[in-house]
């Protein structure tokens, strides 16, 4: 087995390699702060009952260093030993102890490192934890916190998300395997050809949305005696589109002068599928 890369493959490999290094290795937290839309989108959906990474200020303050054996109450200190590890591990470099900030990506790295410090100091975990602003301010436990989950905002967002998901899968299930556009040939609207027939020329764009080459049969209806010139069979490659010239003829006495509605019927031969498109047939005076 031999493997090789052409010029485009080589370009995209180096492009994505450079982009990955630039974002993750050079710009780093600047991507989260100024380029990533996550925080700004999420901030529009926040309220005081949203589950976020929070610092328990009432328990942690006043912060200060102390030995492991020291009694924080005797020193008039909170549980925070001001080790700044929560700031050091934060990928965006924020201090969660200053409150919720838009740069926070809720990665929970500060929670993990703070719990490690609390374990070493023999303090209860949860100085930094997932909670809500109301829960921290009012000292709620898990019970009241969970009961606030099913509030109107959450139910509305859930209903919208479910509706979007259903619409997405419905559109995928009902998606046509091919599409057709009909365009009249502006260079020749209508003409009389040999045999006393009226001829109109069209251009059909057939777009194959499947992953295999498809064959289609073209037919036209709408006027008595309307006939398609040629076999009306075309082939379109997978995920490709093809413009096809189509000529229709009608006996001279087949219709009155003017514009008449007709229908093009395109049927897939290799797979189920049928598309009908409207157009007009012009009969000159």
Q: In sequence order, what E strands does the chain have? A: 52-55, 128-131, 178-184, 191-193, 197-208, 214-221, 227-228, 233-236, 241-251, 258-268, 274-283
Q: Supply the pLDDT for residue 114.
A: 96
Q: Please give the distance of CA 22 from its chain centroid, rounded to a whole number.
A: 24
Q: Which is it for strands 197-208 and 227-228: parallel, antiparallel or unpaired?
A: unpaired
Which pLDDT score, from 0 to 100, does residue 3 have? 59
Q: What are the structural domains, with CATH classification, of the chain? A: 36-167 (no CATH), 178-283 (2.60.40.10)
Task: Specify the DSSP element, H or E, that contains 163.
Answer: helix 152-173
Alpha-carbon distances of 185 from 10, 245, 246, 258, 273, rounded to whole Å: 42, 9, 9, 17, 26
Counting residues of the chain whose pLDDT is more than 70, the rounded percentage is 98
Q: What is the pLDDT of residue 277?
A: 94
Residues in the chain predicted with pLDDT less than 70, given as ranges, are 1-3, 39-40, 43
* Beta carbons within 8 Å of 175's beta carbon, 6+ residues apart: 209
Q: For residue 58, give the nearest of 123, 140, 139 by alpha carbon.
A: 139
Rounded CA Rg of the chain = 34
Q: Is 227 helix (H, G, I), strand (E, B) or coil?
A: strand
Please report the pLDDT score of residue 1 as a whole number.
47
pTM above 0.75, yes or no: no
């Amino acid at each position: 087995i031999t493997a090789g890369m052409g010029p485009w493959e080589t370009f995209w490999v180096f492009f994505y390699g450079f982009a990955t290094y630039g974002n993750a290795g050079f710009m780093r937290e600047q991507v989260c702060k100024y380029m990533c839309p996550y925080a700004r989108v999420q901030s529009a959906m926040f309220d005081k009952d949203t589950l976020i990474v929070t610092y328990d200020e009432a328990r942690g303050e006043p912060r200060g260093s102390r030995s492991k054996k020291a009694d924080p109450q005797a020193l008039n200190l909170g549980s925070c030993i001001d080790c700044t590890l929560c700031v050091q591990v934060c990928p965006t470099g924020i201090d969660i102890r200053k409150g919720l900030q838009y740069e926070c990506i809720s990665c929970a790295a500060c929670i993990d490192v703070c719990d490690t410090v609390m374990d070493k100091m023999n303090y209860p975990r949860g100085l930094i934890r997932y909670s809500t602003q109301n829960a921290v301010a009012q000292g709620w436990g898990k019970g009241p916190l969970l009961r606030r989950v099913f509030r109107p905002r959450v139910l509305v967002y859930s209903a919208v998300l479910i509706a979007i998901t259903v619409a997405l899968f419905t559109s995928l299930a009902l998606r046509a395997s091919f599409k057709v556009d009909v365009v009249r040939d502006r260079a020749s609207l209508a003409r009389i050809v040999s045999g006393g027939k009226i001829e109109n020329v069209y251009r059909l764009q057939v777009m194959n949305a499947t992953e295999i080459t498809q064959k289609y049969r073209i037919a036209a209806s709408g006027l008595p005696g309307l006939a398609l010139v040629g076999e009306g069979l075309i082939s379109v490659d997978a995920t490709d589109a093809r413009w096809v010239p189509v000529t229709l003829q009608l006996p001279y006495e087949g219709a009155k002068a003017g514009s008449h509605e007709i229908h093009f019927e395109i049927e897939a031969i290799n797979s189920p599928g049928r598309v009908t498109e409207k157009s007009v047939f012009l009969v000159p005076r």
